[in-house]
Amino acid sequence: MHFTIVKKSQKSWARAGILKTAHGEIETPAFVPVATQAALKGMISSQARELGTQILIVNTYHLWLRQADEVIKKFGGLHKFMNWSGPLMTDSGGFQVFSLGWAYGKPVGKINKNIQNHKILPHTVCGSIPDQNQGLVIIDTEGVTFRSHLDGSQKRLTPALSIQIQERLGADIIFVFDECTSPLASHEYTTTSLEKTHRWAKICLETKNDNGQLLFGIVQGGRFKDLRQKSAKFIGSLPFDGFGIGGGFGKEDITTALEWVIPMLPESKPRHFLGIGEIEDIKQSVKRGIDLFDCVIPTRLARHGVLIT
């Protein structure tokens, strides 16, 4: 087993563990800083190590869009390219389906505060080719068509291609390609999206080579208990090495969503809360059995002169 639970809390679902990867062990719970384009903004790799950082996460979509995955492969993978000897993660590009699609040009994020004051909106997609005025993404049953935010060129990303890109990048932990739904998406749309995400998860499993990388499935389902539990049951039944919990939330939904899904996931495998990193959210997530979490907030605040104490 690549994950060992060392100790459990008697007052909550919190646990301490050791996650073994090809580039070293991670003591969990652990925060994962975001190195979007294979670099931490405002900090070099050696400084991150000196601060006790155990693992970084790199953005698949942004590297692929710049054709950097092929360049990085020639360098021998992300570890050599970044001068980082420790463990690495790559996300799948699924979050960009949301941020450059449904949420493009709208005041909607992955987490919305006071969501009760917002109207639940139907999901709309654009025409046969993404139009900049309508969003940069078309989602269909087989994958996603992007209009690049860099040069306007049309790109196509599928579950199989996402895995192939992540294999070229060579991170220790990779994720399935999924659709991150908006916190304002309707139950009807989220149901359709979930069926797609589950189908893509199986394609990712079938595509991945036996190369030592750990593949994490992703639980979706938006703000709806029945869909979250349906997803946790399905994804938890597949032979993934660990599990991510993704999708959009209302600020008040984060802990509730964990209470819905954590009991339905295999206890013996690691759990990663995707895109979560505010202090209060980390505390509540650890209490509910989360082992890993990533977020851009610390580096974003730091490079604008803000320090978290």
Distance CA 209, CA 211 (A): 6
Strand pairing report for 144-147 and 30-33: unpaired
- Single-letter amino acid code for the residue at 125: V
User: Does the annotation mark 294 as catalytic?
Assistant: yes
- Residues 237 and 205: beta-carbon distance below 8 Å: no
Cα distances from 203 to residues 63, 173, 181, 214, in angstroms, run 22, 17, 19, 16
Beta strands in 9-82 (DSSP E): 15-21, 24-28, 30-33, 56-58
- Catalytic pick among 172, 178, 291, 294: 294
- Catalytic pick among 69, 91, 178, 281: 91
**Residues linked to residue 89 through DSSP beta bridges, in sequence order:** 57, 173
227 φ/ψ angles, rounded to the nearest 5 degrees: -75, -40
- Residues 1 and 268: beta-carbon distance below 8 Å: yes
- Single-letter amino acid code for the residue at 237: S
What would you measure as the largest C-alpha separation in the chain, in angstroms? 54
- Residues 212 and 238: beta-carbon distance below 8 Å: no
- Residues 309 and 302: beta-carbon distance below 8 Å: no
User: Does the annotation mark 226 as catalytic?
Assistant: no
Active-site residues, by number, are 91, 294
